[in-house]
Amino acid sequence: MTEKDWYLLISLYEERNITRTAKKLYISQPSITYRIKQLEKEFGIALLHRGNKGITFTSEGEYMVKYARRMIKELRNTEDTLANMSEKVAGTLRLGSSSNFAHYELPDILEGFINQYPGMDLQLKTGWSSDIIGHLQDESIHAAFIRGDIKWNGKKILINEEHMSVVSKHKIKLADLPRLNYIKYQTDPLLKSTFDNWWLKHFDIPAHTAMEVDRIETCKEMVKRGLGYSLMPNISLHDEDDLYTIDMEIEGQSIVRNTWFLYKEEMLDLNMIKSLNHFVKEHYGLNN
């Protein structure tokens, strides 16, 4: 059993579909089928069952997936340890980030950090904060930039606080929102809950949703054309001086969303995480 087999089993388990797994790993479906048969023959077990609704793993197959995950983790730990033996800041830095932070803030951080430590390799995963935290917990990433107050037992550094705003092309009144066109975008459950709670505190009828789009940037372009209003974190409003905003408040208190830099304390034993930790603090003026 090889490293490629570990990734094959994990991907197949996550996708539950040979076609999607083949696309994800850039290999052919016959190659996946052949390798699964070889593994079943090698260990004398059945790994999975094929059905009309996809594939399901046997109990033996699920055990092998756990083994594969454990081996990948051990391999990564070995690679980190060997890279850490050098006095240089080197190795593969595995980071996670919320999508909005990755779009608006992370490029500047990574550019500065990589320029300072050119021997670093980088792997980055982006997505909703609630998903990224899972990667941090299972140590498939070293550290993460998370938005919102997610429960985390490791180290967390507050790097930014941002307000939430009602955003429109032209001046509008808060009381008029229910009858105006609302432009909605897909976002993580925590931010959606924040918006929903704010709305319920102010109105007893639902918003008139005129558009639903997949990305906040698409939503912002629609707002800039005067097609409706939206609710947005201020991180997305940098250099947007031509938009009208109303600070979102509950009982006179502005709604604030925090951005955190998270990692497990033991990760500071790695030179690259120690260096990144120092760099992030400097970047946000937190060293003093």
Neighbours of 99 (CB within 10 A): 20
Q: Whole domain around residue 147: which residue ranges? A: 92-158+262-283
Q: Do both 68 and 96 map to the same domain?
A: no
pLDDT above 90 covers a percentage of the chain that reads: 59
Q: Do both 104 and 147 map to the same domain?
A: yes
Indicate whether 169 belongs to any domain: yes
CATH of the domain at 107: 3.40.190.10
Select from 136, 244, 227, 230 the least CA-distant residue to 186.
Answer: 230
pLDDT at 72: 85
Indicate whether 21 belongs to any domain: yes
Amino acid residing at 216: I
Select from 69, 55, 248, 110 the least CA-distant residue to 167.
Answer: 248
CATH of the domain at 38: 1.10.10.10
pLDDT in tens, 187-231: 988 899 999 999 999 999 999 999 999 999 999 999 999 999 999
pLDDT at 148: 87
Indicate whether 211 belongs to any domain: yes
Indicate whether 55 belongs to any domain: yes
pLDDT at 121: 86
| 159 in Cβ contact with 261 (< 8 Å) | yes
Q: Do both 171 and 240 map to the same domain?
A: yes
CATH of the domain at 180: 3.40.190.290
Select from 219, 261, 251, 255 the least CA-distant residue to 237.
Answer: 219
What are the DSSP calls for 39-71, one per residue?
Answer: HHHHHTS--EEEETTEEEE-HHHHHHHHHHHHH
pLDDT at 86: 66
Q: Do both 153 and 270 map to the same domain?
A: yes
Indicate whether 288 belongs to any domain: no
Q: Do both 7 and 63 map to the same domain?
A: yes
Helix, strand, coil percentages (3-state) for the chain, rounded to 5, are 50, 25, 25
pLDDT at 52: 74
257 conformational bin, left if phi > 0, alpha if psi -120 to 50, beta if neither: beta
Kindly give the parts of the chain with pLDDT less than 70: 83-87, 89-90, 288
Indicate whether 56 belongs to any domain: yes
Q: Do both 151 and 167 map to the same domain?
A: no
pLDDT at 282: 92
Q: Do both 48 and 106 map to the same domain?
A: no
pLDDT at 288: 56
Q: Do both 141 and 8 map to the same domain?
A: no
Q: Which H helix or E strand runs over 132?
A: helix 129-137
pLDDT at 85: 62
pLDDT at 87: 67
Indicate whether 87 belongs to any domain: no
Distance CA(85)–CA(288), nearest Å, equals 30
User: Using only C-alpha atoms, what is the Rg of the chain?
Assistant: 23
Question: How many residues are there in the chain?
Answer: 288
pLDDT at 92: 86
Q: Do both 21 and 68 map to the same domain?
A: yes
3-state secondary structure (DSSP) of residue 12? helix
Indicate whether 143 belongs to any domain: yes
288: burial class by Cβ within 10 Å (0-12, 13-18, 19+)? exposed
The domain total for the chain is 3
Select from 261, 266, 264, 269 the least CA-distant residue to 113.
Answer: 261
DSSP 142: S
263: burial class by Cβ within 10 Å (0-12, 13-18, 19+)? buried
Distance CA(182)–CA(198), nearest Å, equals 15
